[in-house]
Amino acid sequence: MKISMNNTLMESLGMEVVKATPSEVTLSMPVDKRTHQPMGFLHGGASAALAESAASIGAFLNIDSDKQQVFGIEINANHVKSVRGGKVYGKATPLHLGKTTMVWEIAITDEEDNLISASRCTIGVVALKNS
């Protein structure tokens, strides 16, 4: 499945899909002026956006998109290391794949595989309304 980032937050932040399967999603994101906070480090909000994006794509790959849609319900992030440049990678793996909720764990690492941020994201699975 080709995932389009066109006209999305993900496109604005420069995210790219590295891997996308129902059991693992990895996205990359540059650390540059689009994702910096004022002091020149990776913004925690950009890390959270990367984490939720990876979890949401993973959740979407686990549903019947003709009958269901997914939405982020909750996300938390522990930022453990700072980074000023290069790329970071958000790798999402499922902890729970339920009928109405999913829980994904996301590790954000730098190019040397150092942990930058650890997140957990809860995704809601919602039936599409008949229109």
Known catalytic residues?
A: 52
Q: End-to-end CA distance of the chain: give it in Å, rounded.
A: 25
d(CA 17, CA 8): 13
Question: The dihedral of CA 35, 33, 114, 93: what is its sign?
Answer: positive
Cα-to-chain-centroid distance, residue 27: 7
